[in-house]
């Protein structure tokens, strides 16, 4: 049943993606693109491939997530193709690799428990990946952030993969230590705090995210890691005091960074008043605002706007391109798509029976939701701009790959908990027979 | 754990709702503010390679046109008259947006108004050229005289038709050549642009005639006089002020002297004729008072940017506050002596913090000769499509009612006398009825260098004036006491004489 839903939704996604692609080409060249059938073929092949993989490997998984991710990926691709043909070729390749990684994850992680048992391996991997860009000779500074690693012909952002490893580690660690961490033996005014020594992990996570912010100048990832950890800590311990303490820590760290570091000040200044340096630091976000204003309610139509006037529009600012050419309607559709991902992801977390699965599903969903919120908020000047990608939509191999892996993990968790719930009813007699 | 997970869901939902709200603000409710923002070059970039109409003067000289060029940009905007109209046309640039007429009438020039796009169905079907060709109110003959008469002195000339607000000439020196920033050689354009910006805030692309303000000096005295007349505090011939070489306002010991240390006195008409400082300083400070002075100045348009159809015109300034009431004035118990009455005395002769753009002072002259009515100043006359059919015509409208007709007529008589037998005799154009008022404004620099001003009007004898004018020549180091009568009057006279000649159509170049 869920797979039939998935298939029909995938069909809708394909229709939307292909018609946007045709319209975008018409908008620019006034003719139907010559490669429309190969394009259609590839899209259908990739999505159907992913669908078949889910059908075989995780048949009881949620049926909404894959079509929505496919839709976001496809719409993102159409906009990248409309903005830059060369990048589109890369993105197509990365999409294929992303879908392959999705399938591979479903194959390799056949039991969620598997992840739990490698928790410290994941911790080490996560920390290494997080700090990799700082290694001299390997790390690359691009656009002011030292978040790239160069290996041969490829550049990749290890932070994108660190977030997977860390989410798994956090889930495993927190489930194991949740009771100790939840004990409140220590009172500070209205707050019930755990013993100071149990605040260690929180301080460690805070320190790591401050390090990422200052050494790698990557505000977005720093914020993302911290929010991820705190959210998971709160869910695991059910202690609101952690939220209070970590908010204070966050504000302290943010204020300190703002006072001490010029790149943080620049971001904040151009958020508060981008017009103060309209041709410099405020340029990008101002152009994005102009772009969105130009789009209005219904948009200019694909291929008919000028999102190319925004620097980095294919990556961090892809949302502005969608908003300009598809209007408030299209931009809202993107928001709704992410809300559906969040809804489906948290539903998986709620129905999961094992604490580890529950926490991991909630963590992954938080990652996707918060990352989307941070970058969209930055683009539309609700938050200071922090350079993270819009999951599934932005150009970028690392991001696409890691988000497809996260998606596969979510579906794996979904399948297992559904299967477990169905087990007594469906396979009850057979279980008896086995016994 | 489940209740925390639900709350995470709630929290994220709230986050996304806030995103949705902000998106509505950017794309719907706040969109028009962003779309018309000065630094928004989207419409310009969109229109750059497309056909674009010409801009011509009232007498048919093409002053902006688009030429197809061998460049990826497709077309280049050219300004055949170079610097002459730069402050009016503005420039249509690829990287730096557009200013002036190019910005304000961009949609019409580009053929992008709804009426142009959909008004003519045949054009829609043929994918025809919908661009609009603009005719301005400026006259090439008058504009050239203005440039020549001012020469290489920093200053501005504004001539307009007081009856409908049409700008006839508007020239500021220094100007610049808009071709240097509009060229499709984008590197050269950037260099030129950077050069201009390095000279801010006095870069030559600043249209000082309507974008900069200066102390207006004695050309402001008619405003003070009008304030007295409008409120029945005085009329042209009473009261009479005793002859004096210096006026000392209440609350101060420092004295306001007359030009050259002379002694003068008499009624308001006499004060205007010989530009007597002591009369107007006392009149403003002790008879009219701060409230009515400000009200009259604002009726003339001060403290509000003139609604001219060009970019970023600036408001002239009459100070809003001269401090708290201290006691009733001895001379006129209805008004207050306030804390800063000495400054009000200065303001009444166009000094202290009073600032006026040359355009604003031309509008003061226009009000005096046009029965007190100030029409909205404008440069657009009409727009025609490529077939030569008129698709838009500028419709004049009233901006301000500065004075009632009787006061305006009294003021007009005073200025006529000043031009026949007073400080503004240099403005006379034989065969026409001419009025004017000179001004010499101190600049508060350490030197005695002064701005020279003159405002005036002219027209056929016994008929409504057809031209109002303001000329100002800026003070420069070592320039000394440039006077309105000596320095500004000859320039204004030449421009006035040219503008009073009937319009003769020239053969257009394009």
pLDDT tens digits along B101-118? 999 998 899 887 878 877
Residue among B9, B15, B26 whose CB faces A292 most closely: B26
Cβ-proximal residues to A157 (8 Å cutoff; 6+ apart), any chain: A147, A148, A149, A396, A398, A399
How many angstroms separate the CA of residue B370 from the nearest CA in chain A? 42
Which residues of chain A are within 8 Å of residue B20 when distances are taken between CB atoms?
332, 335
Q: How confident is the model at residue A153 (pLDDT cuts 50, 70, 90)?
A: low
Q: How confident is the model at residue A37 (pLDDT cuts 50, 70, 90)?
A: confident
Does residue B342 lie in a domain region?
A: yes
For residue A343, give Cα distances in angstroms to A65, A336, A348, A375, A399.
10, 10, 9, 19, 21
Q: What token pair was written down for B509?
A: 């170049």
Q: How confident is the model at residue A152 (pLDDT cuts 50, 70, 90)?
A: low
The arithmetic mean of pLDDT across residues A141-150, rounded, is: 71
Q: How far apart, in whole angstroms, are the C-alpha atoms of residue B53 and residue B45?
A: 16
Q: How confident is the model at residue A101 (pLDDT cuts 50, 70, 90)?
A: very high
pLDDT in tens, B15-28: 999 999 999 998 98
The arithmetic mean of pLDDT across residues B399-404, rounded, is: 96
Q: How far apart, in whole angstroms, are the C-alpha atoms of residue A393 and residue A391?
A: 6
The arithmetic mean of pLDDT across residues B475-488, rounded, is: 87
> What's the confidence (pLDDT) of residue B508?
42
Q: Are B418 and B437 in contact (CB under 8 A)?
A: yes
Residue among A238, A286, A294 whose CB faces B4 most closely: A238
Residue whose C-alpha is closest to residue B269's, from B235, B233, B245, B295: B235
Cβ-proximal residues to B128 (8 Å cutoff; 6+ apart), any chain: B120, B122, B386
Q: How far apart, in whole angstroms, are the C-alpha atoms of residue A375 and residue A288?
A: 12
Write b or e for each residue in A19-37: b if 16 or more Cβ atoms lie within 10 A of its Cβ, otherwise e: ebbbbbbbbeeeeebeeee
Does residue B430 lie in a domain region?
A: yes
Read off the pTM: 0.63
Q: Cβ B8–A309 below 8 Å, yes or no?
A: no
Does residue B245 lie in a domain region?
A: yes
Cβ-proximal residues to A396 (8 Å cutoff; 6+ apart), any chain: A94, A157, A315, A389
Residue whose C-alpha is closest to residue B368's, from B277, B315, B434, B452: B434
Share of chain B above pLDDT 70, in %: 95
The verdict on whether B218 is a catalytic residue reads yes
Q: What is the CATH number of the domain that holds B416?
A: 3.40.710.10
Does residue B51 lie in a domain region?
A: no
Q: Cβ B23–A332 below 8 Å, yes or no?
A: yes
| Average pLDDT along chain B | 91
Q: Cβ A295–B16 below 8 Å, yes or no?
A: no
> What's the confidence (pLDDT) of residue B505?
55
How many angstroms separate the CA of residue A103 from the nearest CA in chain B? 28
How many angstroms separate the CA of residue B382 from the nearest CA in chain A? 29
pLDDT in tens, B190-228: 899 999 999 888 899 999 999 999 999 999 999 999 999
Q: Are A157 and A141 in contact (CB under 8 A)?
A: no
How many angstroms separate the CA of residue B84 from the nearest CA in chain A? 29
Q: Does A293 touch chain B (CB under 8 A)?
A: yes
> What's the confidence (pLDDT) of residue B374?
97
Instruction: Please give the helix or strand (H or E) that residue A425 lies within, else none.
Output: helix A397-426
Cβ-proximal residues to A127 (8 Å cutoff; 6+ apart), any chain: A162, A208
Residues comprising chain A, all counted: 435
Task: Report angle CA B100, B103, B104 to the nearest 5 degrees.
Answer: 85
A431 has a pLDDT exceeding 70: no
Q: What token pair was written down for B491?
A: 């320039």
Q: Are A80 and A88 in contact (CB under 8 A)?
A: yes
Q: Does A183 touch chain B (CB under 8 A)?
A: no
Query: Where do runs of H (alpha helix) occur along B119-161?
Result: 121-126, 140-150
What ipTM did this prediction achieve? 0.90
Q: Quick check: helix, strand or coil at residue A228?
A: helix
Q: Quick check: helix, strand or coil at residue B455?
A: strand
Residue whose C-alpha is closest to residue B220's, from B275, B259, B258: B275
pLDDT in tens, A283-338: 888 889 999 998 888 888 888 888 888 888 888 899 999 999 999 999 999 999 99
Share of chain A above pLDDT 90, in %: 35
Q: Cβ B39–A289 below 8 Å, yes or no?
A: no
Q: Are B484 and B439 in contact (CB under 8 A)?
A: yes
**What is the span of the domain harbouring residue B465?**
217-380+398-500
Q: Cβ A296–B3 below 8 Å, yes or no?
A: no
SS3 readout for B294-312 = HHHHHHCCCCCCCCCCCCC
Q: Quick check: helix, strand or coil at residue B199?
A: coil
- Pairwise pLDDT comparison (A274 vs B271), residue with the higher score: B271
Task: Report angle CA B179, B180, B181 to the nearest 5 degrees.
Answer: 95
Q: Cβ B42–A290 below 8 Å, yes or no?
A: yes
Q: How confident is the model at residue A191 (pLDDT cuts 50, 70, 90)?
A: low
Residue pairs spanning A and B at CB distance below 8 A: 114
Residue among A235, A278, A286 whose CB faces B5 most closely: A235
Residue A186's DSSP bridge partners are: A193
Which residues of chain B are within 8 Å of residue A309 when distances are taken between CB atoms?
41-42, 45
pLDDT in tens, A227-266: 998 899 899 988 888 888 888 888 888 888 888 888 788 8
> What's the confidence (pLDDT) of residue B205?
93
How many angstroms separate the CA of residue B184 from the nearest CA in chain A? 18
| Average pLDDT along chain A | 85
Q: Cβ A306–B46 below 8 Å, yes or no?
A: yes
Longest Cα separation, chain A: 76
Q: Quick check: helix, strand or coil at residue A384?
A: coil
For the beta carbon of residue A255, count every other beta carbon within 10 angstroms: 11
Q: Cβ A332–B39 below 8 Å, yes or no?
A: no
> What's the confidence (pLDDT) of residue B152?
93
Strand-strand pairing, B132-136 and B55-56: parallel
Instruction: Please give the helix or strand (H or E) that residue B451 lies within, else none.
Output: strand B450-460
Share of chain B above pLDDT 90, in %: 74
> Angle A200-215/A240-260 helices, nearest 10 degrees?
30
Q: Give residues 263 to 282 of A whose Cβ lies within 8 Å of B.
A: 275, 278-279
Q: How confident is the model at residue A386 (pLDDT cuts 50, 70, 90)?
A: confident
The residue behind tokens 């000047």 is A381
> What's the confidence (pLDDT) of residue B123?
54
Instruction: Please give the helix or strand (H or E) that residue B243 lies within, else none.
Output: strand B241-244
Does residue B338 lie in a domain region?
A: yes
pLDDT in tens, A82-98: 888 888 888 888 999 99
Q: Cβ B20–A362 below 8 Å, yes or no?
A: no
B446 has a pLDDT exceeding 70: no
> What's the confidence (pLDDT) of residue B48?
77
Q: Are B431 and B501 in contact (CB under 8 A)?
A: no
Q: Does A243 touch chain B (CB under 8 A)?
A: no
Q: Which residue in B16, B37, B41 has the most chain A C-beta atoms within 10 A of its own C-beta, making it the best mutation to test that interface?
A: B16
Q: Cβ A369–B39 below 8 Å, yes or no?
A: no
> What's the confidence (pLDDT) of residue A429?
46
Q: Does A402 touch chain B (CB under 8 A)?
A: no
Phi-psi region of B254 (alpha: psi -120 to 50; beta: other; left: phi over 0): beta
Q: Which residue in A293, A301, A377 has the most chain B C-beta atoms within 10 A of its own C-beta, making it the best mutation to test that interface?
A: A293
Q: Cβ B16–A339 below 8 Å, yes or no?
A: yes
Q: How confident is the model at residue A435 (pLDDT cuts 50, 70, 90)?
A: very low
Q: How confident is the model at residue A365 (pLDDT cuts 50, 70, 90)?
A: very high
Total count of domains within chain B: 1
Residue B155's DSSP bridge partners are: B173, B473
Q: How far apart, in whole angstroms, are the C-alpha atoms of residue B507 and residue A240?
A: 83
Q: What is the DSSP letter of B505?
A: P
Q: Are A3 and A51 in contact (CB under 8 A)?
A: yes
Residue among A235, A297, A335 whose CB faces B1 most closely: A235
Q: Does A335 touch chain B (CB under 8 A)?
A: yes
How many angstroms separate the CA of residue A58 from the nearest CA in chain B? 24
Q: How far apart, in whole angstroms, are the C-alpha atoms of residue A151 and residue A138?
A: 7
The answer to whether the Cα torsion of B109, B112, B115, B118 is positive or negative is positive
The residue behind tokens 């993989």 is A53
Does residue B286 lie in a domain region?
A: yes
Does residue B96 lie in a domain region?
A: no
The arithmetic mean of pLDDT across residues A364-368, rounded, is: 95
Q: Are B366 and B162 in contact (CB under 8 A)?
A: yes
Of these residues, B218, B230, B275, B465, which one is catalytic?
A: B218
> What's the confidence (pLDDT) of residue B126?
55
Q: How far apart, in whole angstroms, are the C-alpha atoms of residue A245 and residue A238?
A: 14
Q: How far apart, in whole angstroms, are the C-alpha atoms of residue B22 and residue B436?
A: 55
Q: How many helices and strands (H and E) does chain B possess?
A: 20, 19
């Amino acid at each position: 049943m869920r797979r039939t839903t998935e298939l029909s939704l995938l069909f809708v996604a394909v229709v939307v993606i292909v018609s946007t692609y045709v319209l975008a080409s018409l908008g620019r060249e006034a003719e139907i693109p010559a490669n429309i059938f190969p394009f259609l073929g590839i899209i259908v092949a990739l999505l159907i491939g992913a669908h078949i993989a889910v059908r075989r490997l995780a048949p009881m998984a949620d049926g909404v997530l894959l079509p929505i991710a496919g839709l976001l990926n496809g719409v993102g691709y159409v906009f990248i193709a409309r903005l830059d043909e060369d990048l589109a070729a890369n993105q197509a390749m990365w999409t294929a690799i992303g879908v392959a990684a999705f399938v591979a994850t479903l194959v390799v992680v056949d039991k969620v428990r598997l992840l739990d048992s490698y928790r410290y391996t994941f911790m080490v991997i996560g920390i290494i990946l997080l700090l990799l860009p700082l290694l001299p000779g390997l790390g690359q500074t691009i656009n002011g952030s030292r978040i790239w690693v160069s290996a041969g012909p490829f550049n990749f952002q290890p932070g994108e993969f660190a977030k997977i490893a860390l989410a798994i580690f956090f889930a495993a660690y927190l489930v194991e230590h949740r009771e100790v961490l939840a004990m409140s033996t220590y009172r500070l005014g209205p707050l019930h705090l755990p013993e100071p020594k149990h605040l260690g992990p929180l301080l460690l996570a805070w320190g790591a995210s401050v390090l990422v912010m200052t050494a790698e100048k990557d505000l977005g990832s720093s914020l993302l890691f911290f929010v991820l950890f705190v959210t998971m800590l709160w869910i695991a311990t059910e202690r609101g005091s952690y939220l209070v303490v970590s908010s204070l820590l966050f504000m302290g760290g943010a204020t300190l960074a703002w006072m001490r570091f010029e790149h943080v000040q620049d971001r904040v200044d151009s958020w508060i008043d981008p017009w103060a340096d309209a041709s410099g630091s405020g340029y990008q976000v101002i152009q994005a605002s102009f772009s969105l204003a130009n789009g209005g309610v219904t948009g200019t139509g694909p291929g008919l706007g000028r999102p190319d006037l925004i620097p980095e529009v294919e990556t961090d600012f892809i949302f502005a391109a969608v908003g300009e050419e598809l209007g408030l309607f299209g931009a809202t559709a993107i928001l709704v798509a992410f809300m559906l991902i969040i809804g489906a992801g948290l539903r998986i977390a709620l129905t999961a029976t094992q604490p580890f699965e529950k926490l991991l599903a909630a963590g992954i969903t938080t990652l996707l939701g918060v990352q989307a919120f941070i970058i969209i908020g930055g683009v539309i000047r609700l938050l200071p701009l922090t350079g993270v990608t819009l999951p599934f939509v932005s150009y970028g191999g690392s991001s696409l790959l890691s988000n497809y892996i996260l998606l596969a993990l979510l579906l794996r968790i979904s399948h297992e908990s559904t299967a477990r719930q169905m087990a007594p009813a469906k396979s009850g007699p057979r279980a008896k027979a086995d016994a | 754990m489940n209740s925390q997970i639900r709350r995470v869901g709630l929290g994220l939902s709230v986050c996304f709702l806030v995103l949705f709200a902000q998106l509505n603000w950017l794309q719907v409710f706040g969109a028009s503010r962003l779309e018309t923002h000065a630094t928004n070059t989207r419409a310009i970039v969109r229109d750059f390679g497309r056909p674009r109409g010409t801009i011509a003067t009232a007498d048919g000289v093409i002053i902006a046109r688009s030429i197809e060029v061998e460049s990826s940009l497709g077309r280049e905007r050219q300004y055949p008259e170079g610097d002459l109209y730069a402050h009016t046309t503005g420039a249509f640039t690829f990287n730096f947006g557009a200013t002036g007429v190019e910005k304000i009438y961009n949609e019409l020039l580009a053929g992008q108004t709804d009426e142009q796009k959909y008004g003519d169905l045949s054009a829609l079907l043929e994918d025809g050229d919908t661009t609009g060709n603009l005719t301005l109110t400026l006259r090439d003959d008058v504009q050239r005289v203005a440039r020549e008469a001012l020469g290489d002195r920093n200053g501005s000339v504004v001539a307009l038709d007081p009856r409908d607000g049409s700008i006839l000439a508007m020239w500021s020196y220094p100007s610049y050549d808009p071709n240097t920033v509009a060229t499709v050689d984008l590197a050269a354009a950037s260099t030129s642009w950077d050069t201009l910006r390095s000279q801010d805030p006095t870069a030559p692309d600043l249209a000082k005639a309507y974008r900069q303000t200066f102390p207006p000096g004695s050309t402001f005295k008619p405003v003070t006089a009008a304030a007295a007349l409008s409120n029945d505090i005085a009329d042209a011939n009473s009261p009479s002020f005793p002859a004096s070489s210096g006026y000392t306002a209440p609350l101060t010991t420092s004295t306001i002297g007359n030009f050259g240390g002379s002694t003068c006195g008499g009624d308001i008409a006499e004060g205007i004729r010989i530009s007597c400082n002591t009369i107007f300083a006392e009149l403003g400070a002790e008879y009219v008072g701060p409230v009515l002075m400000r009200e009259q100045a604002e009726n003339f348009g001060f403290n509000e940017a003139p609604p001219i159809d060009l970019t970023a015109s600036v408001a002239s300034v009459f100070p809003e506050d001269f401090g708290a009431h201290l006691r009733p004035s001895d001379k006129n118990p209805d008004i207050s002596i306030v804390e800063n009455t000495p400054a009000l005395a200065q303001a009444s002769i166009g000094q202290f913090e009073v600032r006026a753009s040359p355009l604003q002072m031309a509008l003061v002259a226009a009000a005096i000769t046009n029965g007190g009515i100030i029409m909205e100043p404008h440069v657009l006359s009409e727009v025609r499509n490529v077939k030569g059919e008129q698709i838009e015509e500028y419709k004049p409208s009233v901006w301000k009612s500065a004075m009632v007709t009787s006061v305006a007529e009294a003021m007009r008589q005073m200025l006529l006398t000043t031009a026949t037998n007073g400080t503004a005799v240099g403005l006379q154009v034989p065969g026409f009825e001419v009025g004017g008022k000179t001004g010499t404004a101190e600049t508060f620099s350490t030197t005695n260098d002064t701005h020279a001003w003159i405002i005036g009007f002219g027209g056929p004898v016994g008929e409504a004036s057809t031209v109002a004018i303001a000329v100002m020549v800026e003070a420069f180091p070592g320039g000394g006491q440039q006077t309105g009568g000596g320095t500004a009057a000859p320039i204004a006279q030449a421009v006035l004489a040219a503008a009073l000649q009937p319009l003769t159509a020239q053969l257009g170049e394009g």
